[in-house]
């Protein structure tokens, strides 16, 4: 049983773990447990796995009616999680973070079922810190995570990512054709996550005319919250080399065409980009718990593997950073080399081996 979700950063590692397990044990039954209304309820079935949903939701930062419902939804979710665990009778339960992870792992731990926590970020979330106390194993993506978890339970595995990005050789031509890009032009790939990132969108919007004039083409994932607004504005500007997408599913092709990547610093994005080994400008989101995206990015910036641009400086300074990077081939090469040295390409199988130890 695999529980958690809410964002691509939780969902795609969960699917990668399931795929790695299924490859070794094709007759296994795998059940996902997610949060009703969240993206895992769509994405997991698309990958061929069964998922059930809990009514659990997070607390809002301000006083709302939804916050008043929180205790009731949590109690409902705990009861439903207990029922799901009892009926499915899993040999092991994996929690990847997100709202559903808490009730499911709590239910499994109370029944003495082995549990494994997968923490994607360099700064552990509150739910995982609580669950880790009774978890049998904690798989982490960054060193020095014994600040948050018992050292004897930690396995430094890295974050599992989609297999198709492990080999980008020869995919640039196919990517240019797929996204209708010009092969000879320098390509900026902008990634704000599946839901979108307001600051990144504003920064590209402000500089898109200058970027095209400079000779760049931009492949821009703006996210579903912003797509309609961005589409109206880009169409009005009439810029043929600004290629707007709500969501990019073919990430291997997107990475293959990119010369420079501009991205938020969510755990999954950072792990994928380390495997891609291309120059990255991270613009961490300031609207996350404990500023963990900045901590994720700094783990790479401190090793001269990426650049960081603060969210508050992005609108107005993005093009300047891109120009600076593009005009320095030595820096581009150094960032790519250093980035790949921090990659952990076999994370999914490393986690599978940890699960095997718990099932044995």
Q: Which of 8-17, 60-69, 256-265, 328-337 has the lowest mean pLDDT?
A: 60-69
DSSP 210: H
**Domain 2-159+345-359: which CATH class?**
alpha beta
Helices 267-276, 8-24: inter-axial angle, 10-degree rounding: 60
pLDDT tens, 226-238? 999 999 999 999 9
Domain 2-159+345-359 and domain 164-341, same fold? Reply is yes
2 annotated ligand-binding residue: no
Q: What is the pLDDT of residue 8?
A: 78
Residue 66 banded pLDDT, cuts 50, 70, 90: low
Predicted confidence (pLDDT) at residue 301 exceeds the cutoff of 80 = yes
The domain 164-341 is classified under which CATH number: 3.40.50.2000, 3.40.50.1860, 2.115.10.20, 3.40.50.300?
Answer: 3.40.50.2000
24 annotated ligand-binding residue: no
58 annotated ligand-binding residue: no
Q: What is the pLDDT of residue 248?
A: 93
Strand pairing class (137-140; 154-156): parallel
More confident residue, 291 or 90: 90
Average pLDDT over residues 249-261: 96
Average pLDDT over residues 169-173: 94
Residue 98 banded pLDDT, cuts 50, 70, 90: confident
Q: What is the pTM of this model?
A: 0.83
pLDDT tens, 133-162? 999 999 999 888 999 999 999 999 999 988
328 annotated ligand-binding residue: no
Q: What is the pLDDT of residue 289?
A: 76
Q: Which of 42-46, 62-66, 216-220, 319-323 has the lowest mean pLDDT?
A: 62-66
Cross-strand pairs, 189: 219, 261
96 annotated ligand-binding residue: no
Two structure tokens written together for 213: 């004039």
195 annotated ligand-binding residue: no
270 annotated ligand-binding residue: yes
4 annotated ligand-binding residue: no
**Mean pLDDT score of the chain:** 93
130 annotated ligand-binding residue: no
Q: What is the pLDDT of residue 64?
A: 67
Q: What is the pLDDT of residue 296?
A: 92
268 annotated ligand-binding residue: yes
How far is it, in rounded angstroms, from Cα 86 to Cα 215? Answer: 60
How far is it, in rounded angstroms, from Cα 329 to Cα 335? Answer: 10
Residue 58 banded pLDDT, cuts 50, 70, 90: low
267 annotated ligand-binding residue: yes
More confident residue, 58 or 99: 99
Predicted confidence (pLDDT) at residue 332 exceeds the cutoff of 90 = yes
pLDDT tens, 108-136? 999 999 999 999 988 888 888 999 999 99
| Residue keyed to tokens 């081939």 | 329
Q: What is the pLDDT of residue 91?
A: 98
Q: How many CA atoms lie within 13 A of 329 on its CB side?
A: 1
Average pLDDT over residues 255-275: 94
How far is it, in rounded angstroms, from Cα 115 to Cα 90? Answer: 10
Find out whether 217 and 182 touch, Cβ atoms under 8 Å: yes
Q: What is the pLDDT of residue 278?
A: 94
Domain boundaries in the chain? 2-159+345-359, 164-341
7 annotated ligand-binding residue: yes
């Amino acid at each position: 049983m695999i529980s958690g979700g809410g964002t691509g950063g939780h969902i795609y590692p969960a699917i990668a773990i399931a795929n790695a397990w299924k490859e070794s044990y094709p007759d296994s039954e795998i059940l996902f447990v997610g949060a009703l209304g969240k993206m895992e309820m769509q994405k997991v079935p698309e990958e061929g796995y069964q998922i059930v949903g809990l009514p659990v939701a997070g607390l809002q930062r301000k006083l709302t009616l939804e916050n008043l419902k929180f205790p009731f939804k949590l109690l409902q979710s705990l009861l439903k999680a207990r029922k799901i665990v009892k009926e499915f009778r899993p040999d092991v339960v994996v929690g990847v973070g997100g709202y559903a992870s808490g009730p499911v792992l709590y239910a499994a731990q109370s029944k003495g079922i082995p549990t494994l926590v997968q923490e994607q970020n360099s700064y552990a979330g509150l739910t995982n810190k609580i669950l880790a106390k009774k978890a049998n194993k904690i798989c982490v993506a960054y060193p020095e995570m014994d600040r948050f978890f018992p050292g004897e339970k930690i396995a430094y595995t890295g974050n599992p990512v989609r297999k198709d990005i492990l080999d980008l050789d020869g995919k640039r031509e196919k990517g240019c054709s797929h996204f209708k890009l010009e092969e000879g032009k320098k390509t900026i790939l902008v990634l704000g996550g599946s839901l979108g990132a307001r600051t990144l969108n504003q920064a590209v919007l402000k500089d898109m005319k200058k970027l095209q004039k400079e000779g760049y083409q931009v492949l821009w994932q703006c996210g579903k919250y912003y797509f309609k607004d961005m589409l109206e504005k880009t169409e009005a500007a009439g810029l043929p080399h600004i290629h707007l997408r709500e969501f990019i599913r073919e990430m291997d092709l997107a990475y293959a065409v990119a010369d420079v990547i501009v991205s938020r610093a969510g755990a999954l994005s950072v792990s994928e980009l380390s495997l891609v080994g291309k120059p990255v400008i991270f613009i961490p989101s300031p609207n996350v718990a404990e500023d963990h995206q900045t901590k994720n990015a700094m783990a790479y910036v401190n090793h001269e593997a990426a650049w960081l641009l603060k969210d508050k400086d992005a609108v107005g300074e993005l093009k300047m950073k891109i120009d600076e990077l593009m005009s320095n081939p030595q820096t581009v090469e150094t960032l790519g080399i250093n980035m790949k040295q921090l990659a952990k390409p076999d994370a999914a199988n490393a986690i599978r081996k940890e699960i095997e130890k718990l099932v044995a």
